Structure 1
Amino acid sequence: MTSVKEQYVIVGAGPVGMYMACLLSKEGYEVVVFEQREDMRGTELQHGRSINLSLSTRGIEALMKINAETQAVSEGMPMSARFVHRCDGTTYTMQYGTNGESLISVDRRQLNELLLNIAEQEYGVKVHFQHKLIKCDFENGEIVFERSSDGTQIPVKIDMIFGCDGAHSTVRKEMMRCGRFDYCQTYSKHGYIELIMPAKEGHKPVLEEDFLHIWPKCQFMLIALPNKDKSYTGTFFIPFETWDQLKTKEDILNFWDNHFRETIPLIGKDRIVEAVMNKEPLPLITIKCNRYHLGNNCVLLGDAAHAMLPFYGQGVNCGFEDCEIFHEMMKKYNGDFSLILPEFSRTRNPDAKAICDLSEMNYLEMSSKVNCKWFCFRKKVERFLHFVLPWFYIPLYQMVAFSRIPYSDVLKKQQRQNKIIDGILMAGYGITGAVVIIGSFIVYKYVNSHLCTITCLI
């Protein structure tokens, strides 16, 4: 057994882990990253394993701290609105921001590779791939990795470990062994598969550009996010029990013809059948913990601390914000982790729980409410209120995606604003009803008096 000593160890070389590595290295800390998987930069691209990311204000402002935002945004595609394909065949758009803001659709792998390159080339971060975490001894400050190539076990002395190893975090599992750690995971009844909509001949887009396209069908849903090469990455969400009924080619094509007929020429029958028959839908999970640290030498960041459903597109944005907030606390408390860690758990936990709840709520909006004309009218009322009273009323999506308002404050403010909208609409109904009743009474009196006059003349 060999020994390697590093001051700060990051487990997980995903976007959040590499972003945290850049922040720490920028400040002069000695950082090493361990990743269980092989280096993605040397592997073949595999479609169907992830949903495109959408960068919003929280993520973009975080990337500014390491001068990565320009390249990340340039490699993505702007999405200014939802382009909704209703069940009756009609379409309409629903703007995301109130001041022309756009989300940025980025390929997860491209963003990850960008951060890997920046970390290694600009900040000198050491990244060890194919090293699996097998044991943590937090009390003595030592963790053990197993090298995949030869099975060698490598003990690593640590001053601090950052668990950035995703929803199925090994660091979190080791923390749970130490007791007094509340943990909750909930699987969605829906799974998802990826479907590619290739560009047309002549490098032309298959759908209207600058939009996130949605085909909402209540129990299931298809979305499509734009790519730089003019193709679209489609993601099909479906309950597992419905998936189990799609056994044959005929079952699949009949289902698609009934629910997503207009997308058949965009994807192609063969691609649809191949994707559904040869892929298993990937699960969607929500994870909540009651604290994100252990002692004075371990913290969870990103999905390891709070995995959420993808329907608000805030997973990576929230993870980057975790790192940014933690980094600011390190400066505030001069690197004293006995103060930093409990403060981080106390302040960040309510925000993470709030965005997990908001992400669950947004599935209902995307899959069914966008088909409702009353919902669309309500959104117009919200935008009007924001236009005339911007300091008083801020639409929910604006707060989540295009501001840095803490998620927990967003949820509280939205609950108050819902009461305002309900009150306005109820008052509108009351006034309309009163006008109708009074008008009807006046008409009745007028008609009745004239009928009496006519009767007397007769």
Structure 2
Amino acid sequence: MTNQVKEDIAIVGAGPVGALLAVMLARKGYKIDLFESRPDSRTKALYQGKSINLALSDRGWLALKAIGLDEEIRAQAIPMTCRMIHAVDGSLTRQPYGRDNQAIWSVSRAGINEQLITLAEQQAGVEVHFEHKLTDLDFDSGTCSFDVSGKESADYHRELIFGADGTFSKVRRLAQELPGQRISYSLDYMPQTYIELTIPANSDGSFMMEKNALHIWPRKNFMLIALPNPDGSFTCTLFMDLQGELSFESLDDEDKVSHFFREYFPDAMPLLIEPVATFMAKAPSPLCLVHIDPWVIRDKVALIGDAAHAMVPFYGQGMNCGFEDCRVLAELVEEHQHHWGEILPAYQQARKENCDAIIELAKRNFVEMSDLAGDARFLLRKKIEAKFSEMHPDLWIPLYSMVTFSPELPYAQALAVGEVQKEIMDEVMNLPDIEQNWQAECTYRLLYQLAQEKLTANILPETVSNPLSPGSSQTLSKKKEVKA
């Protein structure tokens, strides 16, 4: 441990990522000021109807374990071991996420945020400032200017500043306005937007549908999903285009909305609380993709979480990826012995490529969830992959498992391997009569041959621990990048 005087740090944004970062850096001896533009949600209700439930998976759990909060949060989370696909005719199809009840976990954004803020306040050297809205930032001196409760202004000088203030980050916008600073930036709105609906608990507090599942009503260009809550209810999200022939804008009266729900979600409509009135009353919220380069400005200010890499929620990795940012950064602090001139460039290098990869994967996954999840050939493809993975667990890890259950495997590596797997499976699915012969020995001989040629020739792992295989340590050794 270095004996150098440690920098004072400001973190702008006290959402889950900002609060987690405050805890991790405070435990390394730094004085932290954590600023939040909103009031304290523990004393004022801020989240009602405003937040998609979050899916917490292994990357997020690994970061929470590093600060000892994983078991406390797990006690209030609900494991979802499968997708439950609802067809228009009401039939159900269960699609397990992994083996041996591997799960992603439904958590309340408000709940996990408040637990992290409470833990941050308990750390020596952390001060949390609510109702502090950033108005200006001097990127050379490190002076942050805030409106306080909308009544007065205050300035704080800190040696390092982290922008953890979300998709529409003020820190990022101020960086873009710097004269002479070369910043590449894009914020792309998806055609899909969303509103939230609710399925209540039964009168005895039990669940109206399967509790340990992420429920999906895939309807090609739109979908409804539902995540369970500890009180027996489900938070439902309707994703649909904002504009177009069938869209939020085209469904502009109660009769159209009622017909829409009866036609496409007949089994959900009687369960939802006033779906028509809720639909008419709510303005749909946008979904955005954010790319920016660089993440580090003037060697003093860095972006983290959604401020650096906002993504759509269709892979359930937004918060998990932000938590991984914090964990990687904390490890780099130790690796570079608290020398921030080395830490920040290493942080950007370690995370930028991987976050670009998961943004792309999340965007693609809308098609899988809304369309392919109910497609017979797609489901057959997944069956073949799952069987082959069981037969050769060290050779084939399904893409979803690489992303969700393999926290030591970088997102960029998962994307690269997934691209090769897709080529292989396209060839297998083009075999004559694959629907009848999918269990035939010759099918899996071909898969093995192709995997040996296209995967091991490019990756050459020492050992690959498949998270689907029994007794897996979920630790993957470093591999060579897949060749372009």
Q: Does 1:373 find its partner at 2:370?
A: no
C-alpha distance in 2, partners of 1:348/1:99?
A: 31
Q: 1:430 to 1:386 in 2, by over 3 A?
A: closer
* Runs of 4+ more than 4 Å apart: 427-433
C-alpha distance in 2, partners of 1:30/1:208?
A: 46
Q: Is the 8 A contact 2:144 2:157 kept in 1?
A: yes
C-alpha distance in 2, partners of 1:105/1:430?
A: 36
Partner of 1:403: 406
Alpha-carbon distance, 1:98 to partner: 3.2
Gaps of 5+ in 2: 1-6, 438-484
Alpha-carbon distance, 1:182 to partner: 0.6
Partner of 1:264: 269
Of stretches 47-56 and 103-112 in structure 1, the one that deviates more from structure 2 is 47-56
Q: What is the SS of the residue equivalent to 1:266?
A: coil
Alpha-carbon distance, 1:149 to partner: 4.7
Q: 1:330 to 1:42 in 2, by over 3 A?
A: same
C-alpha distance in 1, partners of 2:122/2:242?
A: 44
Q: 1:407 to 1:431 in 2, by over 3 A?
A: closer
Gaps of 5+ in 1: 1-5, 434-458
Give the AA of the match of 1:399.
M
Partner of 2:307: 304
Q: Does 1:189 find its partner at 2:191?
A: yes
Q: How many percent of aligned residue pairs carry the same amino acid?
A: 38
Q: Does 1:332 find its partner at 2:357?
A: no
Q: How does 1:96-107 map to 2 (within 5 A)?
A: 96-107=97-108
Alpha-carbon distance, 1:395 to partner: 0.5
Alpha-carbon distance, 1:141 to partner: 2.2
Q: What is the SS of the residue equivalent to 1:308?
A: coil
Q: What is the SS of the residue equivalent to 1:262?
A: coil
Alpha-carbon distance, 1:199 to partner: 0.4
Of stretches 54-63 and 412-421 in structure 1, the one that deviates more from structure 2 is 412-421
1:335-355 Cα deviation digits (max 9, x unpaired): 222211122212211100100
Partner of 1:92: 93
Partner of 2:416: 412
Of stretches 140-149 and 28-37 in structure 1, the one that deviates more from structure 2 is 140-149
Q: How does 1:204-353 map to 2 (within 5 A)?
A: 204-241=206-243, 242-268=247-273, 271-353=274-356
User: What is the TM-score with the length of structure 2 in the denominator?
Assistant: 0.85
Alpha-carbon distance, 1:124 to partner: 5.3
Partner of 1:146: 147
**Higher Cα Rg, which structure:** 1
Alpha-carbon distance, 1:422 to partner: 2.3
Q: 1:247 to 1:7 in 2, by over 3 A?
A: same
Give the AA of the match of 1:203.
G
Of stretches 227-236 and 334-343 in structure 1, the one that deviates more from structure 2 is 334-343
C-alpha distance in 2, partners of 1:217/1:349?
A: 34
C-alpha distance in 2, partners of 1:85/1:298?
A: 46
Partner of 1:359: 362
C-alpha distance in 1, partners of 2:431/2:240?
A: 39
Comparing both structures, which one devotes a greater share of its residues to helix?
1
Q: What is the SS of the residue equivalent to 2:270?
A: helix
Q: CA RMSD in A?
A: 1.8
Q: Is the 8 A contact 1:33 1:126 kept in 2?
A: yes
Partner of 2:476: none
Partner of 2:4: none
Q: Is the 8 A contact 1:98 1:383 kept in 2?
A: no
Q: Is the 8 A contact 1:76 1:105 kept in 2?
A: yes
Q: What is the SS of the residue equivalent to 1:117?
A: helix
Q: Which of these residues, 427, 432, 449, is aligned with residue 423 of structure 1?
A: 427
Q: Is the 8 A contact 2:132 2:147 kept in 1?
A: yes
Q: Is the 8 A contact 2:31 2:125 kept in 1?
A: no
Alpha-carbon distance, 1:140 to partner: 1.8
Give the AA of the match of 2:195.
I
Give the AA of the match of 1:85.
H
C-alpha distance in 2, partners of 1:255/1:413?
A: 40
Q: Is the 8 A contact 2:134 2:147 kept in 1?
A: yes
Q: Does 1:166 find its partner at 2:166?
A: yes
C-alpha distance in 2, partners of 1:54/1:432?
A: 36
Q: What is the SS of the residue equivalent to 1:365?
A: helix
C-alpha distance in 1, partners of 2:150/2:220?
A: 47
Q: 1:123 to 1:214 in 2, by over 3 A?
A: farther
Q: What is the SS of the residue equivalent to 1:105?
A: strand
Report which structure shows greater RCO (CA 8 Å, sep ≥6).
1
Partner of 2:205: 203
Alpha-carbon distance, 1:318 to partner: 0.2
Q: Is the 8 A contact 1:163 1:169 kept in 2?
A: yes
Give the AA of the match of 1:14.
G
Of stretches 215-224 and 413-422 in structure 1, the one that deviates more from structure 2 is 413-422
Q: How does 1:73-84 map to 2 (within 5 A)?
A: 73-84=74-85
Q: What is the SS of the residue equivalent to 2:193?
A: strand
Partner of 2:131: 130
1:306-354 Cα deviation digits (max 9, x unpaired): 0000011100000000011111111111122221112221221110010
Give the AA of the match of 1:348.
R
Q: Is the 8 A contact 1:47 1:194 kept in 2?
A: no
Partner of 1:445: none
C-alpha distance in 2, partners of 1:32/1:300?
A: 16
Alpha-carbon distance, 1:125 to partner: 2.0
Q: Is the 8 A contact 1:77 1:228 kept in 2?
A: yes
C-alpha distance in 1, partners of 2:423/2:70?
A: 38
Alpha-carbon distance, 1:65 to partner: 1.1
